[in-house]
Amino acid sequence: MKFNFKLKISLIPIVAAIPLYLFCKKRWKILKGVDYETLAFFVGMFIVTDALTKDPLFANITKGGGLNPVSDLAVIINSLFLSQIISNVPLTIFYLKLLKVFSAPRFLT
């Protein structure tokens, strides 16, 4: 039997949290204990990362030094330096989009 049920990845934590908030007696204590500042920071970081990937300048930045941005050496060097500035998850999203721009299927499989 095959199910054709699609759930956006952003809804998974919400669906998982619904029973906790509906049936837990300490739901208000849990909500007050959430670190909203850190959540807001990560939301902002993902928004900035997405904006960078939509700007054509981001591809030119990684071309610095004359390296092909999808060569093995460029991937390593860019990852080392950019991971010091950008968190690893947004960096991965950023670099995957860069690889798609330069049509590098060997990295995307």
Residue at 10 is within a domain: no
63-90 residues labelled b (16+ CB within 10 A) or e (exposed) = eeeeeebbeeebbebbeeebeeebeeeb
pLDDT tens for residues 60-76?
655 555 667 677 787 78
Residue at 67 is within a domain: yes
Residue at 29 is within a domain: no
pTM of the model: 0.54
Q: What's residue 94's pLDDT?
A: 77
pLDDT tens for residues 10-49?
788 888 888 888 888 888 888 889 899 998 988 888 888 7
Q: Are 108 and 100 in contact (CB under 8 A)?
A: yes
Residue at 26 is within a domain: no
Residue at 20 is within a domain: no
Q: What's residue 57's pLDDT?
A: 67
Residue at 72 is within a domain: yes
pLDDT tens for residues 77-108?
878 888 888 778 878 877 777 777 676 555 55
Q: Which helix (H) or strand (E) is 28 found in, with range? A: helix 27-32
Query: Which residue range(s) make up the domain with 84?
Result: 35-108
Domain count, the chain: 1
